[in-house]
């Protein structure tokens, strides 16, 4: 339902009554600027082709109305090709739902909690792969909040029947996966718990199931803390669990590099290095000051990159920021880049070879095209780097005059929590991006 102009979006993401100290959403639904359900449906041809250029323009001006956010995000994240028909998308959706159901069944066969409506919050095996059969061990390892919750299953009778009745050892990948399940459970219990939506057990278990399945199919990354924050909105916006999974999977294709960690480096290190380079070029005094304080590695910005400002913004504002970023970064080849071979349905003659004009790209990508960074060896930097740079730029004077140590840097940056304007941040990021490209060209 369309709300009045200037109405905040909080009413779409109801907060539990006792959580009255959380940040209010600044995002306002504005008629004529926010992409409405009417304009969204009008952007499709009778066959189902989407005018993506018109859609991006509207999103960049005022975000997406919460009532259609899920279906719009499926296009922004590359789940569907704008140059496809209703029928083609429905066929692809069914294929993906079947694929997810198969993966989930595979996981359920390995651990009976998957798909059971319950979650695990304590270890179920040792690091050697031996099942922990004593429920007391599970109870001791479970936090008070989880131990008293009906969501937690502390019984291992059925869970390890196959392991205890067989001497076949588990391989390392299976052990690693099983060892992550309780960590996923602990994180799920902490994710967006101020929202009424997660008072329902079925919604918590849906989030746990998706993360458990993803941890199994992405063998290189598995599960890392922070992924629950990225997945949670998908569960809320899309009713079907499989559709939520595929939206999350597409988002992770963009961000999974951030979660690749080794003993010697963190996955987000490349973006932190890019942030350092940008600050050095655009604000050399600030960069020198941060280096003097021992913050030249920019690790203080780690969280902003890992969970895309989820901790710096209200729930509604973080969604607004994400869709603004994705609209600005949109590449019309996103679908073909992400689609698995043989997964997409055959295109009809009307959808083949349609030329993609410059208006089909987001503003950020247009700038990269004009400046030749789009197809350079390194490729364009993600807009997130410039968003974080714009936050630093805004706090530059305070950092220079008040920061006498890294603790001060963190404290000053924490002041943006709840005070960050998503649209202004994107505008600031675009300005910095253009300025950086000009200076980079000169050098």
**Rounded to the nearest 5 degrees, what angle is found at the Cα of 229, between the Cα atoms of 227 and 230?**
65
Say if CB 115 and CB 208 are below 8 A apart.
Answer: no
From residue 442, alpha-carbon distances to 65, 366, 371, 375 in Å are 41, 20, 12, 19
Phi first, then psi, for residue 15 (nearest 5°) are -100, 145
Say if CB 217 and CB 252 are below 8 A apart.
Answer: no
The two tokens of residue 373 are 């960074």
pLDDT value of residue 265: 60
> Which parts of the chain register pLDDT below 50?
1-5, 135-167, 341-353
Per-position DSSP letters for 212-244, written without gaps between them: HHHHHH-TTT---TTHHHHHHHHHHH-SSHHHH
Residue 8 host element (H or E): strand 7-8
d(CA 439, CA 123): 52
Say if CB 275 and CB 301 are below 8 A apart.
Answer: yes
pLDDT value of residue 150: 41
Q: Mention every residue, 6+ apart, whose C-beta is less than 8 A from residue 37.
A: 2, 65, 67, 68
Burial of 441 (0-12, 13-18, 19+ CB in 10 A): exposed
Could you tell me where the DSSP H helices lie in 283-405? 284-292, 302-306, 315-329, 334-338, 363-370, 383-394, 396-402
- Dihedral of CA atoms 146, 194, 239, 75 in degrees, nearest 10, equals -120
Q: Where are the domains of the chain?
A: 90-254
Per-position DSSP letters for 381-405, written without gaps between them: PPHHHHHHHHHHHHTHHHHHHH-SS
Q: What's 101's DSSP letter?
A: H
Domain 90-254 listed as CATH 1.10.8.270:
yes
Q: Mention every residue, 6+ apart, whose C-beta is less than 8 A from residue 32.
A: 5, 62
pLDDT value of residue 282: 93
* Tokens 């350092």, residue located: 276
The pLDDT tens digits for 179-203 are 999 999 999 999 999 999 999 999 9
pLDDT value of residue 141: 38
- The upper half-sphere exposure of residue 355, i.e. CA atoms within 13 Å in the direction of its Cβ, equals 3
Say if CB 420 and CB 312 are below 8 A apart.
Answer: yes
d(CA 278, CA 272): 10
């Amino acid at each position: 339902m369309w709300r009045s102009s200037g109405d905040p979006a909080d009413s779409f993401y109801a907060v539990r009554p006792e959580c009255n100290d959380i940040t209010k959403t600044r995002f306002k639904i504005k008629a004529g600027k926010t992409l409405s359900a009417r304009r969204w449906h009008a952007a499709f041809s009778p066959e189902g082709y989407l005018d993506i250029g018109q859609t991006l323009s509207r999103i960049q001006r005022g975000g997406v109305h919460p009532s259609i956010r899920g279906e719009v995000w499926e296009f922004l994240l590359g789940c569907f090709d704008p140059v496809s028909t209703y029928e083609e998308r429905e066929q692809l959706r069914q294929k993906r739902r079947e694929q997810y159901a198969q993966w989930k069944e595979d996981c359920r066969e390995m651990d009976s909690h998957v798909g059971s409506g319950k979650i695990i919050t304590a270890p179920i095996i040792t690091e050697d792969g031996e099942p922990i059969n004593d429920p007391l061990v599970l109870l001791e390892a479970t936090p008070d909040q989880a131990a008293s919750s009906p969501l937690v299953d502390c019984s291992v009778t059925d869970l390890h029947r196959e392991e205890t009745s067989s001497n076949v050892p588990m391989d390392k990948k299976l052990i690693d996966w099983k060892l992550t399940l309780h960590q996923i459970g602990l994180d799920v219990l902490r994710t967006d718990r101020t929202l009424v939506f997660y008072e329902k057990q079925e919604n918590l278990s849906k989030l746990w199931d998706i993360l458990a399945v993803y941890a199994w199919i992405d063998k290189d990354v598995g599960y890392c803390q922070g992924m629950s924050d990225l997945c949670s909105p998908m569960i809320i916006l899309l009713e079907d669990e499989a559709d939520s999974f595929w939206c999350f999977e597409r988002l992770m294709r963009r961000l999974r590099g951030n979660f690749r960690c080794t003993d010697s480096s963190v996955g987000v290190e490349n973006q932190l290095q890019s942030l350092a380079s940008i600050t050095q070029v655009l604000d050399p005094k600030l960069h020198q000051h941060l280096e003097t304080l021992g913050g030249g590695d920019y690790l203080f910005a780690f969280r902003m990159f890992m969970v895309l400002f989820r901790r710096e913004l209200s729930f509604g504002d973080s969604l607004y920021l994400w869709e603004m970023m994705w609209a600005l970064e949109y590449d019309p080849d996103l679908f073909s880049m992400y689609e698995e071979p043989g997964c997409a349905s055959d295109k009809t003659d009307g959808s083949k070879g349609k030329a993609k004009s410059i208006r089909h790209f987001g503003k950020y990508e247009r700038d990269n095209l004009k400046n030749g960074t789009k197809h350079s060896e390194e490729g364009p930097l993600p807009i997130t780097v410039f968003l974080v740079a714009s936050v630093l730029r805004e706090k530059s004077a305070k950092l220079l005059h008040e920061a006498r140590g890294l603790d001060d840097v963190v404290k000053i940056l924490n002041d943006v929590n709840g005070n960050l304007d998503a649209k202004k941040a994107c505008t600031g990021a675009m300005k910095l991006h253009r300025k950086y490209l000009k200076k980079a060209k000169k050098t």
